[in-house]
Structure formats: C-alpha cells, structure tokens
Structure 1
Amino acid sequence: MAIFFGLIGTALVGAAGWFATSFVAAPIRAFFDLRKDARRQFLVFDERETQVPFNEHGIEVSAQQRADTYLAAAKRELRETGAKIVALGESEQIAAQVLKLFGYDAILAGENLMIAAETLGAWGPEGQAARKQAEITLRLRKG
C-alpha cells in the first residue's frame, strides 16, 4: 500500500511540475524574451541606415524613400512586438498574474509599446513621452 501511495504522490508531483512549467514558467519566459526584443528594437531603431540601397531597377533610392521605408519597418516591428505582449497578457492569465506580482503589467506594457510604435519618428514631446512610457511599463527605465 505504501508503494501505491508513493507512486500516486510521485505522479501528482510530476503533474504539478508540468503544470507549473507549461502554464506559468514558459509564458513568463516568453514575456521576458519579448521585453528583450522591445529593448533591442528601441536600440536598433535609434541607429540610422548608412547603406545606399537600390530599387529593383538598379536606381538609387532617395534618402527620403529610405527613411520612410525604414520608419515603416520600425513601426511595424514594434507594433508586432507590442501585440504579442498584449496577446500573452490576455491569453496566459496565470502568468500575467504572476508577472503582476513582480511589477509587470503585460497588457499595459504591450499597449504602450504599440502607442510608442505609432509615434515613432514624431518630433516633439508626444513621441518622446510615448517611448518613455513604454520603457517604464516594460521596466527598461526608471520612472
């Protein structure tokens, strides 16, 4: 009988470990990976392209066209990362609650990242404020 209860106990501990790993640890790791991607994107998008690209006809693309293309790609990538963070916060509710214990609000952070993406390239305080707010909610910078 003791062996039977030992096997049942072992199975229950194994199931609890699998549950914790699959439904809590993996989504939390995904959040931190997305947070790292957002930080990398902010750093990369601060840099400017130095290459002179050519279009499909071999004609040099103007500096304004390069800037517009670069800005559109940067916005798209930041929006996508923000959307992934929001989706993680909405679909992985257990992990989102654990993240809140550590001071992260995944949904708010993702929404702020998408707002920052829309104001990327904008001059003035609005664009800077949106980026700062995204960095604060992702805890990439102190408030």
Structure 2
Amino acid sequence: MPLSQENRMQMAIHVYKSKQIQYQSKAAGVFGVPRSTLQDWLKGMKSRSETRANCHELTAHEEVLIKHLLDADKRGLSIRPEFLRGMAQILLRERTQDPTTTIGVNWAYNFVKRHPALRTRYNRRITYQRAKQENLMVIKQWFETMHEAIQEHGIHED
C-alpha cells in the first residue's frame, strides 16, 4: 500500500534533519514530495489538515449568528445574505480588534451551506383566496362559530 504524501513528507523531514541526506531537494526527490512544501514544513508551516480554512474566522460566534437567524425566521423576517455578512463583519472586527479585517464575498453562502439548520427558503406570493380569508371579520366570525359549537355540544377543553 503506497504511503500518503504526509507520511512521505514526515520521512523526508526526518532524513534531512538527521543528516542522512544533506540537501532538501534530494530528500524531496527521494520521497516524491514537492521541494517547496518540504521547505515550508521545515520552516514550521503547518500542514493543510492541521489548519482551519480562512472562512472559519468566526467559529466561536457562529452559534450566536445561527440563533439570531432562526429567531428572525420565527418572527417571519428573512435576513438577506448581505445583512448576514454585515453582522459577521461586525463580530469579526470586534473579535480581532482590527477595523480593516474583512470577510469574503461568499462567506454568507458558505456559512449557510455549513449549517443544515439554515436552509434557504423562497417566499411565495399569497393567493387571492387566502388573502381574502385573512379579513379580521371573517376570522372573528370563525372563532365565534367554533365557540358556539363548543357550547352547544358541551365539548370539554381536554
């Protein structure tokens, strides 16, 4: 079974640091890894698997954003991606104490994609018949009819 690139990189680092091979380029060639990546790892740069992606700058605040979005949805308010990005921008600048820090253009899209609880919904136009039934007098009459039926038939609340 062939070794992964990370394992080959670790072996190249080991043989170079133990002076079994004197040149970085030769160690990279022997183990089949990119020389520039080997140099980066020797300088202390972490591998991609050990670092978080740039879009996760607000990981600690994501729960707050999710709660706010779901609360707004319960109230019938839809938050546009631009507004979500603006809220995240404020949180990031507060967290980093750097007024020049910015969030990427696609951050809101990726944020929603990362959290299944936040799925996009499209508002539909209300039909004429449904809008007509939202008349306060019609609703009040329906509740009065229900109340009369409950009284007439002696229906208990339970």
Q: When the two structures are superposed, what TM-score results if normalisation uses the length of structure 2? A: 0.25
**Higher percent of residues as helix:** 1
Of structures 1 and 2, the one scoring higher in RCO (CA 8 A, sep 6+) is 1
Q: Return the index of the structure with the highest Cα Rg.
A: 2
Q: When the two structures are superposed, what TM-score results if normalisation uses the length of structure 1? A: 0.27
